[in-house]
Amino acid sequence: MADLTTAGEAGPPRAAAADRGFATTLIRTGSVILGLVVLAVLIGPLLVRWGPEEIDAAASLAPPGGAHPLGTDVNGMDILSRVLHAGRLDLGVAVASVALAVVLGTLLGIVAGYRGGLVDDVLMRILDVFQAFPAFILALAVAALLGGGVPELILVIALVNAPAYARLVRAEVRTVRELPFVEASRTSGSSGLGTLWRHVLPNSLTPVRVIAPLNCGWAMLTLAGLSFLGLGVTVPTAEWGAMISLGSADVVAGRWWTSVPPGLLLLVSVLGFSLLGEGLQERAGVTR
Amino acid sequence: MTLLDIRDLKVAIGSVQALAGVDLTVARGEVVGLVGESGGGKSMIARSVVGLLPDGARATGQVLFEDRDVLTMDAATLAAHRGAGAAICFQNPRGALSPTRVIGRQLTDRLVTHQGMDASQARSAAVGLFESVGIRSAARRFGSYPHELSGGQAQRVMISLATGCAPGLLIADEPTTGLDVTLTREILLRFREAADEEGRGVLLISHDLASIARICDRLVVLNAGAIVEHGPTTAILTTPAAPYTRTLLAAVPTLPSPHPAESGESAGSADPARPAGAGVSAESGDPAQPAGSAVSGDEVVRVEDAHVVYGSRFGAGGHHALRGVSLTVRAGETVGVVGESGSGKSTLARLMLGMITPSRGAVTLAGREPSRLRGRALRALRRRAQLVFQDPIGSLSPRRTVADAVAEPLRAAGVKAPERARRVAAVLERMGLDGTYAERRPHELSGGQAQRVGIARALAGEPDLIVFDEPTSALDVTVQAQILKVIGEVTAERGRGSVFISHDLATVRGFCDRVVVLYLGRIVEEGPVEEVFARPRHPYTMALLAAVPSLDGEEETGRVRLTKDPEEAAAGGGCALAPRCPFAEDACRTEEQELRTLGRARVACRRAGALPDLEGPER
Amino acid sequence: MRIARFTARRLLQAVPVLLGVVVVTFVLVRVLPGDPIRTILGPNATEADAAAARARYGLDQPMWQQFVDYLGGLFTGDLGVSIQSGQSVMGEMAVRLGPTLELVVIAVTIATVLATVLGIWSARRAGRAGDHTLRVLALVGNSLPEFWLGLVLILVVYSGLGWVPAPSGRVDPDTNLSLITGADLLDAVLTGNGPAFASAAGHLVLPVATMVVVIVAPLMRSVRASALEVLGSEAYRAAAAHGLPERTLLRGYLARAALVRLPALAALVFGFAIGSTVLVEYVFSWQGFGQWALRGLLFRDYPVVQASVVVIALCYTLIFLIADVVHAVLDPRVRI
């Protein structure tokens, strides 16, 4: 006689919380938006006549239309060309910095969570100090320290984010470490590293996978915010935040085209990451 | 007029038919037992009675409650029917009590809603109700939050909440799951009282036929959404008609008792897969075990006067899990370790496996002391002992395949890949799992299959000792029987020692040579299985034996009952059992008890052997 | 009483963190590239001028001596003198902290209330169109760069519609608002200055709206998720199956259980809002703490940077402490 185990008498309470259809819609919409943005910033610049830092001396603050479909800024640079080129930089920095933060944070989190004891205590107290600052404030300070080159900015955003990942992974490792299958691995006589690599790590990274896309959106906002304040990428390099900053003076006069297009593209890209992240969270049943 | 009259109830969720035409009645003052395994649709019946079917469920038929159909009630009528008409006493009371509201308020909410009391009336009525379900210092408990309660107390509160609705029909969904045997009995009696004294109808839902049988007037057996048998309790126990009922009965581990042994035999002829290792009475014995033979194999593990203290890191306080336990297991021998939760069973298991170091005393595994070894040597020694876990699915990594899990001890031992694959296949085959299982992941396995994988993993490294830590307590009864059979075969092998840990004396009896009874970290009695079962000498052992559910449906007489939940009994000096022991004298509360030899057993009770005669009826 | 002990213990735990913060800021500021003295003296100053200026600000002392002086100053409330303005840092900060806290507190409060109402509303309609719409809208809000949203609001509401005063400053100077706390709305109430109140409120509309839009989403998500968890929990189902009336269910069984996890997140969001103020103040020329700190950072004004960063960390740590205490009050399962 076969084992009599039929699924789902009274299903888990979380089943109600997961709205799979909606999650899929969110993930698809987010992916499509991001795909379109990536496509636009990769191919778009090839189709535009003007270079991103090319100055059309004849046209400063020209309104959209004619030779400049989205107009020009105060320096006579083409907004469309700049907006598209800036996308490469912003997306690239966001993804690179989050990847770096994930690697750094995961390493720290594993060491702290799996070793425990003094190592854990010391690492956590250090992270406490860094997390005693709001993230953006810390980013401002470190950006001022390191300067505004692109590699430096990637490092800044990664450093500011890493503690959160470290905590996330540490908490997960500490939970997973106590689960029966980890004990089973240890009673099998496996070495500590073997157990860590084969059992603890693969089962500890789910929240990281879910949070990372959301975090990419935040990274873009941070980069743009830093540049907006003059602590990130500076003119003439094309970057959305710096462009909005340059255009902010025109707003009171009612000139929208210098700041609205970069902001809209920034919004759309971040929204793409947000939708994707929200969908992944919904699907994973992460309730936060 | 029948209180509850369910007629041809069919419930489908999506394409799954959860209930396939169920007929069921409950009258006032009657206790009806609804029995079947998980997934059989029992809870669905309970939910349909209060009109709370899960989203997407479609129900047809009639659920008549006092002649009104619950399925067609409008919202207002349904709201009035819930609680006042029928109230469910939920499974898992800790989860079913709201965590952020004090239990007193939760009860007064019910009283105000259904009995129209004002706040102060409700408060005093609530305290009275708490007392009546056996909650001590009820007035103080009124302001407690659910997480401050023990499992037994939470169950009592749940019962008080359900009865506080003053329902015509009380539905109890697995009311005793997770409770110790001594508590189970008492909780069940509350339901009998609800029927006898308050005139309610009671529908008792359980997967465990044995535990509820004795208080039910009638039994209804449910399998895969359909009723396979119903009738008066005695009739079903003595002459079960449906093969499924016989399987259920045969799966019940019991103490010697004429009826179930017979029904077990008849089920055996009806079902070729009848478990041999379980449900076996002392008379028939287990063919795989030479009963009572003195085993003289090599010593595989020796625990000497071991103490384990789980301390806070700064020394103060700490939990004393084991207090001086000595135990030896030889090759070819199976030792049963029995005790309630919190008795130190699991700590003892991990001690023998070299997973924890004793705070005092010594452990010798396969001739070496794990506490003196480090690193590679320690890991090599750990491989000599293997553990089979209580939670079969949880003990398998969700992201690894079955083959991968079973191969782990071999990989750790440095066995080469082709050899590993061969041995994994062989050991899975032995557990009755064919090649298709090798690439499955834990979520694709049933509980029973997962436990077979767990046993396969333990066997793969060919250890000297296997410790089974309540290996069947998370499984359905019929699956339990199969797994016990497998374990019976594994423990019968001569070259290895086995330890079988259980909270349930009856399970141990089937195939253990010796039994050790633990109470709060101490051995209170040990000896050969037949001796301990036939002549229990320690009051605690007697109480455990008395609490084993029996299928004869008669109230036992003169057996020992302990007072209080273990959580409530404050441990003072002297014998740890003294606060709960019906035989305790003043001297028991001051003198530490040592194990002393009595007959073929050893007992830690100064009055052992001189206790009142328990065989005769007392009441 | 137990809450008081719990609070005291958490305060004690915050001390090492704050000490760490002080050390980190001190070191951070010293290793910042750029020389504050050069920026104030201009290009024509001689080496002797610079040395004199360094001595005036104590920058000629060895590092450890500077640290000891700084630490001593912290305890006596002397945060030094701004290199840029020559004013006392303490005095400058007192004027600037009020308006910013007012902005952040109003925004976080509105967002929390909004999130609670919308989150529970959304959870009770989980999976339906209203729930989905609200969640997507919240996500859009959360994806908006606050500095850009501020600009767009100025473009539309001020430049386009002219509904609000010009985005510079916090209150019309003609209203003669006397300074008490620095928080303009509060000062207007304290002095009974009606016109100043109206002016301050008018200036607050857009910055507060900007911040609420960007911070409401995570709060709402949290409330919704918790409420959903409670609604699906055995405990809530049991209460519903026992026929308790809707009102009792909502108040006694849903609301508190669903809000248990909100304080910690609200604290986090508060920190996010503090970060945001730097950008929002810049956009609206708010002349608050954020702008002051930013200018200190840009000009390497050591005392200003040190003081502002330490104060922010202190606020943030305190907010988390308050959140912990509120959590402990709300959730009986927290061991205190």
In the 3-class helix/strand/coil scheme, how is B348-387 assigned residue by residue?
A: HHHHHCCCCCCCEEEEEECCECHHHCCHHHHHHHHCCEEE
Residues 23-62 of chain C with CB under 8 A from chain A are 24, 28, 31-33
C-beta atoms of B478 and A180 within 8 A: no
The CA distance from A181 to the nearest CA of chain B, in Å, is: 4
With contact defined as beta carbons under 8 Å apart, do C104 and C114 qualify?
Answer: no
| pLDDT at C120 exceeding the cut of 80 | yes
> In this structure, is residue B199 part of a structural domain?
yes
Which has the closest alpha carbon to B63: B78, B75, B83, B76?
A: B78
Please, what is the angle between helix C289-298 and helix C302-330, to 10°? 140
Q: At B223, is the secondary structure helix, strand, or coil?
A: strand
Q: At C291, is the secondary structure helix, strand, or coil?
A: helix
Same domain, B480 and B345: yes
Task: Write the CATH number for B609.
Answer: 3.40.50.300
**In this structure, what token pair is assigned to residue C129?**
């169109």
Q: Interface pTM (ipTM) of the complex?
A: 0.83
Domain endpoint, select from B440, B462, B484 = B462
The CA distance from C258 to the nearest CA of chain B, in Å, is: 10
Q: pLDDT band for position A59 (50/70/90)? A: confident
Same domain, B139 and B46: yes
Interface test with B, best of C234, C242, C254, C260 (most B CBs within 10 A): C242
Same domain, B246 and B110: yes
Task: Please report the pLDDT score of residue B273 as a whole number.
Answer: 38
Ranges of residues in chain B whose predicted pLDDT is under 70: 1, 39, 178-182, 251-296, 311-318, 547-573, 612-619
Mean pLDDT of C153-180: 78
Which has the closest alpha carbon to C167: C211, C213, C195, C204?
A: C204
Task: Please report the pLDDT score of residue B376 as a whole number.
Answer: 82
Strand-by-strand arrangement of the B86-89 sheet = B86-89, B169-173, B201-206, B31-35, B218-223, B226-232
C-beta atoms of A6 and B40 within 8 A: yes
Same domain, B454 and B476: no
Which residues does chain B have within 8 Å of residue A177's beta carbon, measured at their own beta carbons?
A: none
Q: At B98, is the secondary structure helix, strand, or coil?
A: coil
**In this structure, what token pair is assigned to residue A51?**
């270079």
Spatial separation of the C-alpha atoms in residues C134 and C157, rounded to whole Å: 24
C-beta atoms of A145 and C16 within 8 A: no
Please give the DSSP secondary-structure letter assigned to residue B243. H
The answer to whether B446 faces chain C, any CB pair under 8 Å, is: no
With contact defined as beta carbons under 8 Å apart, do A238 and A86 qualify?
Answer: yes
With contact defined as beta carbons under 8 Å apart, do B557 and B619 qualify?
Answer: yes
Task: Please report the pLDDT score of residue B233 as a whole number.
Answer: 87
> In this structure, is residue B326 part of a structural domain?
yes
Spatial separation of the C-alpha atoms in residues C182 and B148, rounded to whole Å: 48
Cis peptide upstream of residue B232 (ω within 30 degrees of 0) = no
Nearest to C235 among B81, B98, B109 (CB): B98
Which residues does chain C have within 8 Å of residue B105's beta carbon, measured at their own beta carbons?
A: 252
C-beta atoms of B165 and C242 within 8 A: yes
User: From residue C329, how far is each of C9, C260, C319, C335 by CA, in Å?
Assistant: 15, 9, 15, 10
With contact defined as beta carbons under 8 Å apart, do A8 and B43 qualify?
Answer: no
Nearest to C260 among B50, B92, B100 (CB): B100
Range of the domain at A278: 2-284
Residue B530, classified by CB atoms within 10 Å of its CB into exposed (0-12), middle (13-18) or buried (19+), is middle
Within chain A, residue ranges assigned H as helices are: 14-17, 20-47, 79-110, 117-130, 135-146, 150-177, 180-187, 192-195, 206-228, 240-251, 260-284
> In this structure, is residue B266 part of a structural domain?
no
Spatial separation of the C-alpha atoms in residues A126 and A133, rounded to whole Å: 12
Cβ neighbour number for residue A25 with a 10 Å cutoff: 16
Within B165-232, residue ranges assigned H as helices are: 181-198, 209-213
Spatial separation of the C-alpha atoms in residues B389 and B464, rounded to whole Å: 17
Mean pLDDT of A270-284: 88
User: From residue B115, how far is each of B3, B61, B121, C243 by CA, in Å?
Assistant: 20, 31, 10, 12
The CA distance from A83 to the nearest CA of chain C, in Å, is: 15
Spatial separation of the C-alpha atoms in residues C189 and C196, rounded to whole Å: 9
Same domain, B76 and B151: yes
Spatial separation of the C-alpha atoms in residues B399 and B386, rounded to whole Å: 22
Number of structural domains chain A divides into: 1
Report residue A230: phi and psi, to 5°: 90, 10
Residues 6 or more apart whose CB falls under 8 angstroms from that of B123 comprise: B104, B108, B142
C-beta atoms of C243 and B80 within 8 A: yes
C-beta atoms of A187 and B379 within 8 A: no
User: From residue B396, how far is each of A185, B400, B413 by CA, in Å?
Assistant: 9, 8, 19
Same domain, B419 and B485: no
Spatial separation of the C-alpha atoms in residues C253 and B99, rounded to whole Å: 9
Q: At B272, is the secondary structure helix, strand, or coil?
A: coil
Q: At B514, is the secondary structure helix, strand, or coil?
A: strand
| pLDDT at A98 exceeding the cut of 90 | yes
Q: At C274, is the secondary structure helix, strand, or coil?
A: helix
C-beta atoms of C278 and A132 within 8 A: no
Minimum mean pLDDT range among A186-190, B45-49, B441-445, C43-47: C43-47
Task: Please report the pLDDT score of residue A15 as a whole number.
Answer: 38
With contact defined as beta carbons under 8 Å apart, do C221 and A282 qualify?
Answer: no
- State the amino acid at position B417 in one-letter form: A
| pLDDT at C48 exceeding the cut of 60 | yes
Instruction: Identify the chains in contact with C, defined as 3+ C-beta pairs within 8 A.
Output: A, B
With contact defined as beta carbons under 8 Å apart, do C50 and C44 qualify?
Answer: no
Residues 6 or more apart whose CB falls under 8 angstroms from that of A16 comprise: B55, C126, C228, C231, C232
Which residues does chain C have within 8 Å of residue A278's beta carbon, measured at their own beta carbons?
A: 135, 139, 221
Spatial separation of the C-alpha atoms in residues A149 and B318, rounded to whole Å: 55
Which residues does chain A have within 8 Å of residue C17's beta carbon, measured at their own beta carbons?
A: 125, 128-129, 132
The answer to whether B15 faces chain C, any CB pair under 8 Å, is: no
Residue with tokens 């001189």: B610
Report residue B235: phi and psi, to 5°: -60, -45
HSE of A283, CA atoms in CB hemisphere, 13 A: 18
The answer to whether B366 faces chain C, any CB pair under 8 Å, is: no
With contact defined as beta carbons under 8 Å apart, do B543 and B241 qualify?
Answer: no
Spatial separation of the C-alpha atoms in residues C259 and A32, rounded to whole Å: 35
> In this structure, is residue B370 part of a structural domain?
no
Handedness of CA C203, C204, C205, C206 (dihedral sign): positive
Same domain, B192 and B330: no
**In this structure, what token pair is assigned to residue C168?**
């510079």
C-beta atoms of C252 and B109 within 8 A: yes
Strand-by-strand arrangement of the B16-26 sheet = B16-26, B4-13, B57-65, B68-69
Range of the domain at B565: 282-363+464-619
Residues A251-274 have pLDDT tens digits of 777 788 888 889 999 999 999 999
Which residues does chain A have within 8 Å of residue C278's beta carbon, measured at their own beta carbons?
A: 136-137, 140, 229
Mean pLDDT of A9-25: 55
Number of structural domains chain B divides into: 3
Spatial separation of the C-alpha atoms in residues B232 and B216, rounded to whole Å: 8
Domains in chain C (CATH in brackets) are: 91-288 (1.10.3720.10)
Which residues does chain C have within 8 Å of residue B145's beta carbon, measured at their own beta carbons?
A: 332-333
Spatial separation of the C-alpha atoms in residues B41 and A10, rounded to whole Å: 9
> What value, to the nearest 5°, has the Cα angle with vertex C231 and ends C228 and C234?
125
Residues 6 or more apart whose CB falls under 8 angstroms from that of B221 comprise: B35, B36, B227, B228, B229, B230, B236, B242, B244, B245, B248
**In this structure, what token pair is assigned to residue B166?**
């003053």
- State the amino acid at position B472 in one-letter form: T
The answer to whether C229 faces chain A, any CB pair under 8 Å, is: yes
Task: Write the CATH number for A40.
Answer: 1.10.3720.10
Which residues does chain C have within 8 Å of residue A143's beta carbon, measured at their own beta carbons?
A: none
With contact defined as beta carbons under 8 Å apart, do C116 and C248 qualify?
Answer: no
Spatial separation of the C-alpha atoms in residues B568 and B180, rounded to whole Å: 14
Task: Please report the pLDDT score of residue C76 as a whole number.
Answer: 80
> In this structure, is residue B450 part of a structural domain?
yes
Which has the closest alpha carbon to B456: B410, B400, B413?
A: B410
The highest-confidence range among A146-155, B549-558, C139-148, by mean pLDDT, is C139-148
> In this structure, is residue B91 part of a structural domain?
yes
β partners of residue C332: none
| B92: closest chain C residue by CA | C234
Spatial separation of the C-alpha atoms in residues A165 and A197, rounded to whole Å: 18
C-beta atoms of A10 and B43 within 8 A: yes
Same domain, B86 and B145: yes
Q: pLDDT band for position A11 (50/70/90)? A: very low
Please give the DSSP secondary-structure letter assigned to residue C128. S
With contact defined as beta carbons under 8 Å apart, do A205 and A103 qualify?
Answer: no
Spatial separation of the C-alpha atoms in residues C194 and C180, rounded to whole Å: 16
Which has the closest alpha carbon to B598: B552, B550, B535, B548?
A: B535
C-beta atoms of B382 and A189 within 8 A: yes
> In this structure, is residue B492 part of a structural domain?
yes
Task: Please report the pLDDT score of residue B253 as a whole number.
Answer: 57
